[in-house]
């Protein structure tokens, strides 16, 4: 049963009937402004935002520092890293070696912990969750509203370039990050992250951060 709906701040959006949704997931192309949109959605609804906070929660759950978790966040390990990790485990079991949690820590560990954190957050309700496969973890929850944010390539490059301090190849960074996020969903959830059937709404941030956030909020408040 969905938790009681907490009245959102509707000053920026037209009024609507109370929602049957208590969780919003926002999946985003890199540089699309999806995280900013998710932040505004959380502010408009008066709900908790899990983006960087999700990394902190995973760090607490795994007893590893947040910087290490962030390094593996939405990341799929190479076959060599997986092979090494398996070798370390085997050596520890058969040879009585003492190995640290950090040595065994990897993307798979983060993904599993993130899945547990996402499930607990959804059970508590009234939250907006950014990325990390939340749209897949919560796909069967009727009270979860899923949005995908995309943007024109030029807008994405411009947005990423504006926050980069080093002179890197912005286009290649955008391409690689998108591929990493797509691989994350394929590997851990066997889904195509751009499959429209995973989402209630797919929206282009070219309409503006505020407008996009308002459209998602309207979808949430109107229910089904």
Calculate mean pLDDT across residues 33-57.
Answer: 90
Taking residue 11's Cβ as centre, other Cβ atoms within 10 Å add up to 6
Q: How far is CA 58 from the centre of its chain?
A: 13
Superfamily covering domain 23-79+111-222: P-loop containing nucleotide triphosphate hydrolases (3.40.50.300)
pLDDT at 211 over 90: yes
pLDDT-based confidence at 167, cuts 50/70/90?
low
Calculate mean pLDDT across residues 104-121.
Answer: 81
How far apart are alpha carbons 163 and 151 in whole angstroms? 17
pTM: 0.77
pLDDT at 222 over 50: yes
108 Ramachandran zone, left/alpha/beta (phi>0; psi -120 to 50): alpha
């Amino acid at each position: 049963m969905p938790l009681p709906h907490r009245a959102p701040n509707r000053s920026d959006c037209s009024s609507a009937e109370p929602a049957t949704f208590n969780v919003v997931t926002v999946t985003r192309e890199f540089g699309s402004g999806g995280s900013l949109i998710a932040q505004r959605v959380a502010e408009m609804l008066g709900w908790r935002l899990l983006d960087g906070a999700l990394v902190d929660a995973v760090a607490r759950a795994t007893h590893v520092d947040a910087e290490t978790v962030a390094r593996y966040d939405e990341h799929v390990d190479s076959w060599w890293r997986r092979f090494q990790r398996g070798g370390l485990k085997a050596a520890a079991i058969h040879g009585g070696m003492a190995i640290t949690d950090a040595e065994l820590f990897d993307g798979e560990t983060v993904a599993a912990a993130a899945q547990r954190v996402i499930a607990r957050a959804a059970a508590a309700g009234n939250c907006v969750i950014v990325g990390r496969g939340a749209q897949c973890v919560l796909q069967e929850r009727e009270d979860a509203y899923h949005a995908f944010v995309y943007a024109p390539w030029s807008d994405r490059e411009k947005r990423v370039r504006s926050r980069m301090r080093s002179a890197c190849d912005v286009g290649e960074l955008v391409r690689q990050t998108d591929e990493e996020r797509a691989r994350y969903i394929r590997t851990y959830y066997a889904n195509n992250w751009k499959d429209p059937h995973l989402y209630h709404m797919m929206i282009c941030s070219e309409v503006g951060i505020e407008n996009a956030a308002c459209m998602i909020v309207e979808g949430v408040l109107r229910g089904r």
